[in-house]
Amino acid sequence: MQQHLKKMMENALTEHETPHRVNRYISEADWDKIYEAIKTHEFSFFPNSLNPNSYKNLMPWESLNKIITEHRLCSPRMRLFKNGESIPENDYSVSKISPGNTVFIDILVERLYYYLREGASLIIDAIEELYQPLKDFTIGLENLLNLPIKVNAYLSWKDVRGFEKHWDGHDVLILQIHGKKKWFIYGKTQKYPVYMNPHCEINVPEKHIWDKTLEEGDLLYIPRGMWHHAEAINEPSLHLTFGIKRNIATDYINWLQEQLFKKEEFRKDIPFSDEIIKLDEYQRDIKKSIIHALEEYTLESFLIYKRSKIHRKSINLPFAAQSLIFKKPLNEYAIKTTCYNSSNLDIKNGNGILKFNGKVLHFSKSCYNFFSVLSNNEVHSLEKLLNILPKKTNQENKLLFITSLVHKGIIEVLKYNN
Ligand SMILES: O=C(O)CCC(=O)C(=O)O
């Protein structure tokens, strides 16, 4: 294999090791404590828990400026808030029409600076999608927690609240990256509250139970439902909020409901209300069917499905848009998977199964090795993978098989000298 390609593959390999992605920023000992707090829903403060040599790389000011400059981030992806009120987007940006009649929003920088100087907070949603080091770290955390994570950036300059006192329907990890911010934590509204719960009583707590000024490198874990607000202290502050969506029983039931459409007894009409005997029978039968369904569609299968949905799209052009991707010499190509979790791979009844982005891919047992080699997230030479595929399949069909996986977005092609 060519030396450059080998080097590139080695670099890619270190980039794709999950623990490495997280250990670069949080030590294993600190992560263990954070993990315990998340598991037990225990509000916790972790001072100085971010590695001082690296955490600023999660969102340097220059990279943030580049993100805002180079993307057309319109509301609500990027928004300004002051004292709990959103500042109308057209107060700091203008709609423009391109020669092709496309309308787009352009920021008026002078107005933006003015609002920020006046105490507005700037919020960018899902910022991990826009910055690779942050995305890598987020993927690492997702793999450790087996839960999906979305990151928002909050920037403030004045001792003015962005949001008023509120609670979130998901857990949050707050990482203070630049400057300081003062946090006020209040009690809970309800145990395990969720946004869509119509039975949630809103009793806004009056007095805070905890307050602290977060300094650079500090981390705070707020379980869902805890009221909080934050204020900067008249100096630039940037924190990243990692929103963690936990799985709850109603998620399992919603998934179960989708599975139950496959079964006749769950599609069957409920008798009319004057058919008392039939109604009784129906009640008895459906109870049995529900118990049976819970045994068939287990919590474990649901969790595997949810894990497979934790998938971040990755675009692989020019390769994935070509019907025939590989041209000789084949030793210039390398392959890696876009599925980060090897637990999505399984063998059942002698056949291989790959759960990918909520879909299920069945393949013959003879390809199992191929997938299990790929699923460790390393980068592999195409030639090595061709050799792992069954000997009786000819080269052309092996290449077509690999091509079909690239077309599905399951694996990606890398090429030296691209
Ligand atoms: O910085 C703020 O004003 C509030 C931030 C917040 O609520 C959060 O990060 O979850």
Give the distance (Å) from ligand 1 centre to CA of residue 163.
7
Residue 376 has pLDDT above 80, yes or no: no
In a 13 Å sphere around the CA of 253, the CA atoms on its Cβ side amount to: 5
Residue 272 has what DSSP assignment? Answer: P
Residue 197's pLDDT is 73
Contacts of 310 (CB under 8 A, 6+ apart): 142, 146, 147, 148, 340, 341
Give the distance (Å) from ligand 1 centre to CA of residue 52.
23
pLDDT tens-digit map of 219-229: 999 999 999 99
Task: Find the helix or strand (DSSP H, E) in which 296 lies.
Answer: helix 276-296
Give the distance (Å) from ligand 1 centre to CA of residue 229.
6
Give the distance (Å) from ligand 1 centre to CA of residue 221.
12
Flag the least confident range among 105-109, 120-124, 238-242: 105-109
Determine if ligand 1 sits within 6 Å of the CB of residue 162: yes
Residue 299's pLDDT is 96
> Residue of the nearest CA to atom 2 in ligand 1?
230
Residue 341's pLDDT is 66
Contact 410, 314 (CB under 8 A): no
Band of residue 6 on the pLDDT scale cut at 50, 70, 90: low
Helix, strand, or coil here: 299? helix
Determine if ligand 1 sits within 6 Å of the CB of residue 121: yes
User: Using alpha carbons only, what angle is made at residue 130 by residues 125 and 134, rounded to the nearest 5 degrees?
Assistant: 90
Task: Find the helix or strand (DSSP H, E) in which 101 lies.
Answer: none
CA separation (Å) from 318 to 216, 325, 418? 41, 9, 10
Question: Looking at residues 51-77, what average pLDDT do you find?
Answer: 96
Residue 14's pLDDT is 46
Determine if ligand 1 sits within 6 Å of the CB of residue 163: yes
Residue 186 has what DSSP assignment? Answer: E
Give the distance (Å) from ligand 1 centre to CA of residue 190.
20
CA dist., res. 271 & res. 262, Å (int): 20
Instruction: Concatenate the DSSP letters of all residues of 122-141 into one string.
Output: EEETTGGGG-HHHHHHHHHH
Residue 19's pLDDT is 67
Question: Looking at residues 331-337, what average pLDDT do you find?
Answer: 94
pLDDT tens-digit map of 335-364: 998 876 656 777 777 788 888 888 888 888
Question: Looking at residues 42-54, what average pLDDT do you find?
Answer: 97
Nearest to 162 by CA among 189, 183, 188, 145: 183
Give the distance (Å) from ligand 1 centre to CA of residue 344.
34
Band of residue 100 on the pLDDT scale cut at 50, 70, 90: confident
For residue 329, whether the previous peptide bond is cis, meaning omega lies within 30 degrees of 0, is yes
pLDDT tens-digit map of 249-301: 999 999 999 999 999 999 999 999 999 999 999 999 999 999 999 999 999 99
Give the distance (Å) from ligand 1 centre to CA of residue 43.
15
Residue 238: burial class (beta carbons within 10 Å; 0-12, 13-18, 19+)? buried
Average pLDDT, the chain: 91
Band of residue 1 on the pLDDT scale cut at 50, 70, 90: very low
Determine if ligand 1 sits within 6 Å of the CB of residue 240: no
Give the distance (Å) from ligand 1 centre to CA of residue 171.
12
Residue 30: burial class (beta carbons within 10 Å; 0-12, 13-18, 19+)? middle
Q: What predicted TM-score, i.e. pTM, was given to this entire model? A: 0.90
> Residue of the nearest CA to atom 7 in ligand 1?
229
Q: Which atom of ligand 1 is nearest to the CA of 81?
A: 3
Q: Which atom of ligand 1 is nearest to the CA of 168?
A: 10
CA separation (Å) from 246 to 39, 62, 330? 10, 33, 44
Determine if ligand 1 sits within 6 Å of the CB of residue 241: yes
What six digits make up the tokens of 248?
């709850």
What burial letters (b/e) apply to 85-107, b meaning 16+ CB within 10 Å? eebebeebbeeeeeeeeeeebeb
CA dist., res. 340 & res. 385, Å (int): 18
Residue 39 has pLDDT above 80, yes or no: yes
Flag the least confident range among 92-106, 316-330, 400-414: 92-106
CA dist., res. 117 & res. 232, Å (int): 12
Contact 136, 18 (CB under 8 A): no
Determine if ligand 1 sits within 6 Å of the CB of residue 230: yes
Q: Tell me the residue type at 417.
A: N
154, 181, 238, best to mutate for ligand 1 pocket (most atoms within 8 Å of CB): 154
The values of phi and psi at residue 313, to 5°, are -65, 150
pLDDT tens-digit map of 158-206: 999 999 999 999 999 999 999 999 999 998 878 888 887 766 667 889 9
Determine if ligand 1 sits within 6 Å of the CB of residue 154: yes
Contacts of 186 (CB under 8 A, 6+ apart): 165, 205, 207, 208, 209, 226, 227, 228
Task: Find the helix or strand (DSSP H, E) in which 413 lies.
Answer: strand 411-415
